[in-house]
Structure 1
Amino acid sequence: MINKLKLYAQLVKFEHTIFALPFVLAAVFIVERGIPPVEKLFWILIAAVSGRTAGMAFNRFFDLPFDRLNPRTKNWVSVTGAVKAGEILFLAVISSAVLVFSAYKLNKLAFYLSPVAILLLIIYPLGKRFTNFVHLILGAVYFIIPIAVSVALKGQVEISTVFLGLGMAFWVAGFDIFYALQDVEFDRKVGVHSIPAKFGVKKAIFFARFFHLLTFVFLVLTGYFAGLGYIYYAGLMILTGFLIYEHTLIKEDDLSKINVAFFTINGYISIMYMIVVILDIFLKI
């Protein structure tokens, strides 16, 4: 059982939950202006983790025909058969059910809106078959995260969470473009749609830079509408430095540092944003 759980964790890259979870917590503190009720925080975290698990499982399930052909993914547990296709789909369905139940435990509006999140999680992997801007579908998944937090805590959508959602959307869309740079030739060969496959590496890097510029703009607006102070904006400058550094690692003629840019730097950015928000709220200047 333990070995099987390890395989499932490998399948969905559970450790990468770090990308979304700190932003979830940042949204919680922005909406609540402090520490939220423990029970609500618990169900928000369960919803976030189960939602991400469902999304990764759906992604692995629908991508199986491509992953079996891609040399880069030949050792993935979904491809080797260590986790079978039926198990992947079962994990996706169970995780989706946990997400819906978590929403039910939060409030009725969250429960009624939870299928929207699941629908987006399914559309993203399927989107690779019909749109080059599939990265924005993934962005839409992240866009609704802080809005869902606002609904869960207040039963309504606060304007600051809309801008935070937009910031998160373009942040994740930008680094999803970086991730797709690894498979440009393969994607063109098998018909997988993406910005790099359509426009080439140079223009794809420009798209990622533009998206991350929008991230900065929307995070500034988040701070304004949330009434955050100097600590937030100072931290945002440092965070922007990490974003700029991330882009210096990706060059048209050298993609060897994609993993550092995609995994390491984005993990730091997510955690840093959460810390900055919490410090600003509790050490208001």
Structure 2
Amino acid sequence: MKSYWVKLKNLLELVKFSHTLFALPFALSSMIVAAWGLPSLRILIGILFCMIAARTMAMAFNRYLDWEYDKQNPRTQNRSKLATKRQILILGIISLVIFEISAASLNFLCFALSPVAAFLIVFYSFTKRFSPYSHAVLGVCLSLAPLGAWAAVKGSFASMLPFLLSLAVFFWTFGFDIIYALQDVEFDRRFGLYSLPAQFGEDLSLKIAALLHFLAWIGWAFFGFIGGLRWPYWIALGVVACILGSEHVMSRKREQAKIEKIFFELNAWVSVFIFIGILLSIGIQGYGKQ
């Protein structure tokens, strides 16, 4: 029995299950704005299952499709020791099934859109083989989280708010994935893989990432203004500006440890602070009053 728990732990470590925090807070943020508070328990659980399954599916298929590359990359070569290629494929398929069932449990719109989301999630893993704009595709994938959560609550897209939040998440993800790609510039060039830093150079790529993060912040500001959010949200957005600024200061040194910290810690705090700001703002204004 112990060996099964060890295998499960290794699988979850391989797909970085603990980093579901990237997109989940944005889905929950969209959910509470759409419901102006908390929706029914059924919708909340459905959204949680969709998000966790989608994130696990994305990482599992990415690990499966990049298996041979990861084994040759000094930064990722230990991944193959955590699980077998077959195990990671099975995890991806199981996650896909859970994702589809969870989407179907929400409403017809979510179920109808779920194959599109699943396709994009899997397609992303191929893009680095032929385009330097794989970072943008990842941005599209994460930007689906607030749209999906809004659809789960409302059953339609009769508001521009989820699209504003989605656009901001797109810019944010696009930017931080460019920074993350700095770690593999030499490897990507040697093996014929594409990324913005490998294709256009690190200095230009960092400038593009900074511009994208500025656009993300503007998007979040418009979301808060049009959504009528109060002071807790704007304080949170101020903190987010500081976090994004520190990311770009740290990324200039291009040290792997700092880039890992940017990707896995600071970016998680961005989504968490925005979620907390929205939650407190709606709490002050009163649930169900909009």
Q: Please tell me the TM-score bracket, short chain as reference.
A: over 0.9
**1:162-181 CA deviation, whole Å, 9 max, x = no partner?**
01011111111111111110
**Alpha carbons 2:28, 2:146 under 8 Å: kept:** no
What is aligned with 1:45? Answer: 48
Q: In structure 2, do the counterparts of structure 1 residues 108 and 66 end up closer, same or farther at CA, with 3 Å as the change threshold? A: same
Q: Return the alpha-carbon distance in structure 2 between the equivalents of residues 262 and 171 of structure 1.
A: 11
Tell me how far apart the structure 2 counterparts of residues 56 and 139 of structure 1 sit (CA, whole Å): 15
Question: For the residues of structure 1 that align with 2:32 and 2:12, how far apart are their CA atoms?
Answer: 28
The corresponding residue for 1:192 is 193
1:202–1:252 CA contact under 8 A, matched in 2: no
Contact 1:58 1:125 in 2 (8 A): yes
Residue matched to 1:251: 252
Match runs of 1:95-110 below 5 Å:
95-110=95-110
Runs of 5+ in structure 1 lacking a partner?
none
Distance (whole Å) between structure 2 residues aligned to residue 34 and residue 20 of structure 1: 19
1:23 alignment partner in structure 2:
26
Alpha-carbon deviations, 1:11-37, whole Å to 9, x = none?
111111111222221111111111111
Contact 1:103/1:114 (CA < 8 Å) preserved in 2?
Answer: yes
Aligned mates of 2:264, 2:229 — CA distance in 1: 28
Opposite residue 156 of structure 2, the aligned amino acid is: Q
Aligned to 2:277: 276
Q: CA separation in 1, counterparts of 2:114 and 2:263? A: 28
Return 252-261 or 133-142, whichever deviates more.
Answer: 252-261
Q: In the alignment, what sits opposite 2:131?
A: 131
Give the conservation status (yes or no) of the 8 Å contact 1:228–1:281. yes
**CA separation of 1:207/1:252 partners in 2, compared to 1, >3 Å: closer, same or farther?**
farther
Give the Cα–Cα distance (whole angstroms) in 2 for the partners of residues 95 and 226 of structure 1: 33
What is the root-mean-square deviation of aligned Cα atoms in Å?
A: 1.4
Kindly tell me: are residues 3 and 252 of structure 1, through their superposed partners in 2, closer, same or farther at Cα, counting changes over 3 Å? closer
Aligned residue runs from structure 1 range 156-235, under 5 A: 156-157=156-157, 158-235=159-236
Task: Give the match's secondary structure for 2:75.
Answer: helix
State which of 1, 15, 18 in structure 2 corresponds to 1:12. 15
Cα contact 1:109–1:155 (8 A) shared by 2: yes
Deviation at 1:247, TM superposition (A): 1.0
Match of 1:89 in 2: 89
Aligned-residue offset at 1:234 = 2.6
Contact kept? 2:172, 2:213, Cα under 8 Å: yes
In the TM superposition, what whole-angstrom CA distance separates every residue of 1:32-75 from its partner, at most 9, and x where no partner exists? 11111111100100000000000000110111121111111111
Match of 1:121 in 2: 121
Q: Is the 8 A contact 1:201 1:252 kept in 2?
A: no
| Residue matched to 1:144 | 144
One-letter amino acid matched to 2:118: I
- Rounded to whole Å, the distance in 1 between the matches of 2:202 and 2:257 is 13
Q: Offset of 1:252 from its aligned partner? A: 5.3
Q: Which amino acid aligns with 2:135?
A: H
Aligned residue-pair number: 282
Please tell me whether residue 74 in structure 1 is matched to residue 77 in structure 2.
yes
**Partners of 1:151 and 1:264 in 2: CA distance:** 29
Per the alignment, residue 238 of structure 2 pairs with 237
The answer on whether the counterparts of 2:71 and 2:78 sit within 8 Å (CA) in structure 1 is: no
| Residue equivalent to 1:33 | 36
Unpaired stretches in structure 2, ≥5 consecutive residues: none
Letter in 1 for 2:20: T
Match of 2:68 among 65, 69, 82: 65
The 4+ residue runs of structure 1 with deviation greater than 6 A are none
Instruction: Give me the whole-angstrom Cα distance separating, in 1, the residues matched to 2:254 and 2:32.
Output: 42
Deviation at 1:189, TM superposition (A): 0.5
State the TM-score, normalizing by the size of structure 1: 0.95
Counterpart Cα distance in 1 of 2:180 and 2:163: 26
> Deviation at 1:256?
4.5
Kindly provide the CA deviation profile for residues 119-138 of structure 1, in whole angstroms up to 9, marking residues without a partner as x. 01111110001110110000
Contact residue 142 and residue 168 of structure 1 kept, 8 A? yes
Matching residue's letter, 1:148: G
1:254 CA drift (Å)? 4.7
